Amino acid sequence: MDAQNLHYFEKAPIAKAVAHFAVPMMLGTSMSVIYSILNAYFLGTLNNTAMLTALALTLPLFAIIMALGNLIGMGSGTFISRLLGEKKYDEVRHVSSFAFYSSIVLGLIVMAACLPLIDSIVRGLGATPDSFGYTKDYVTIMLIGSPFVVLFFTLENIVRSEGAAIMSMVGMILSVVVNIILDAAVIFVFHWGVIGVASATVISNLVASGFYAFHMGYKSPFLTISVKWFKANKDILSNVFKIGVPVFVMSLFLGAMSLVLNLFLVEYGDQAAAAFGITSRLLQFPEFILMGLCEGVVPLIAFSFTANKLRLKQTIGFTIKTIVVLAALFGVIVYLISGRLIGLFTNDPQLIEVGSYILHVTFLSLFITGMTTLFTGIFQATAQGTAAFIMSVIQGVTLIPVLYIANRMYGFHGVVWSLVIADAVAFLVGAIMLYILRNKLQPDLDHLGH
- Looking at the structure, tell me whether residues 202 and 282 fall in a common domain: no
In this prediction, residues 5-10 reach a mean pLDDT of 87
Which of 298-307, 354-363, 433-442 bottoms out in mean pLDDT, i.e. has the lowest? Answer: 433-442
- Looking at the structure, tell me whether residues 227 and 278 fall in a common domain: no
Domain presence at residue 239? no
- Looking at the structure, tell me whether residues 57 and 187 fall in a common domain: yes
Better-predicted residue by pLDDT, 69 or 47: 69
Domain presence at residue 87? yes
Residue pLDDT, tens place only, 296-314: 999 999 999 998 888 999 9
| Most confident option among 116-130, 192-206, 283-297 | 192-206
Give the CA-trace dihedral at 184, 189, 191, 196, to 10 degrees. Answer: -50
Domain presence at residue 237? no
- Confidence label for 442 from pLDDT (cuts 50, 70 and 90): low
Better-predicted residue by pLDDT, 324 or 269: 324
- Confidence label for 161 from pLDDT (cuts 50, 70 and 90): very high
> What is the residue type of 150?
V
pLDDT of residue 449: 35
Rounded CA-CA distance 126/333 in Å is: 37
Cβ neighbours of residue 201 closer than 8 Å, sequence gap 6 or more: 39, 62, 141, 142, 145, 149, 179
- Looking at the structure, tell me whether residues 203 and 281 fall in a common domain: no
The helices-and-strands tally (H runs, E runs) of the chain is 18, 0
Domain presence at residue 85? yes
- Confidence label for 339 from pLDDT (cuts 50, 70 and 90): confident
Domain boundary among 197, 232, 267: 232
- Looking at the structure, tell me whether residues 225 and 119 fall in a common domain: yes
- Confidence label for 450 from pLDDT (cuts 50, 70 and 90): very low
- Looking at the structure, tell me whether residues 51 and 186 fall in a common domain: yes
pLDDT of residue 346: 74
- Confidence label for 335 from pLDDT (cuts 50, 70 and 90): confident
- Looking at the structure, tell me whether residues 41 and 80 fall in a common domain: yes
Of the chain, the end-to-end C-alpha distance in Å amounts to 33
- Looking at the structure, tell me whether residues 324 and 182 fall in a common domain: no
Domain presence at residue 353? yes
SS3 293: helix
Q: Indicate whether 354 pLDDT > 90.
A: no
Rounded CA-CA distance 101/236 in Å is: 14
Q: Indicate whether 282 pLDDT > 60.
A: yes
- Looking at the structure, tell me whether residues 259 and 208 fall in a common domain: no
In this prediction, residues 31-44 reach a mean pLDDT of 76
Rounded CA-CA distance 319/374 in Å is: 8
What is the model's pTM? 0.85
The mean pLDDT value of the chain amounts to 88
Cβ neighbours of residue 291 closer than 8 Å, sequence gap 6 or more: 29, 373
User: Helix 309-343 to helix 14-44 angle, to the nearest 10 degrees?
Assistant: 30
pLDDT of residue 82: 94
Domain presence at residue 220? yes
In this prediction, residues 169-183 reach a mean pLDDT of 93
Q: Indicate whether 108 pLDDT > 90.
A: yes
- Confidence label for 448 from pLDDT (cuts 50, 70 and 90): very low
Q: Indicate whether 269 pLDDT > 80.
A: no
Domain presence at residue 403? yes
Domain presence at residue 214? yes
The domain in which residue 319 lies consists of: 247-443
- Looking at the structure, tell me whether residues 265 and 414 fall in a common domain: yes
Q: Are 21 and 293 in contact (CB under 8 A)?
A: no
Better-predicted residue by pLDDT, 39 or 105: 105
- Looking at the structure, tell me whether residues 281 and 380 fall in a common domain: yes
Say how far residue 367 (Cα) sits from the centre of its chain. Answer: 17
pLDDT of residue 35: 74
- Looking at the structure, tell me whether residues 204 and 288 fall in a common domain: no
Better-predicted residue by pLDDT, 43 or 237: 237
Domain boundary among 208, 232, 256: 232
In order of 72, 157, 266, 441, the CA distances from 412 in angstroms are 39, 39, 10, 42
Domain boundary among 180, 198, 232: 232
Query: In this structure, how many other beta carbons lie within 10 angstroms of the beta carbon of residue 438?
Result: 12
Concatenated DSSP letters of 372-429: HHHHHHHHHHTT-HHHHHHHHHHHHHHHHHHHHHHHHHHHHHHHHHHHHHHHHHHHHH
Q: Give the percent of the chain with pLDDT over 70.
A: 97
Rounded CA-CA distance 155/11 in Å is: 26
Concatenated DSSP letters of 86-106: TT-HHHHHHHHHHHHHHHHHH
Rounded CA-CA distance 236/225 in Å is: 16
Q: Indicate whether 199 pLDDT > 60.
A: yes
Residue pLDDT, tens place only, 49-69: 788 778 777 877 888 898 899
Q: Are 342 and 281 in contact (CB under 8 A)?
A: no
Rounded CA-CA distance 161/212 in Å is: 13
Residue pLDDT, tens place only, 212-262: 999 999 999 999 999 999 999 999 999 999 889 988 988 888 777 777 777
- As for how many domains the chain has, the answer is 2
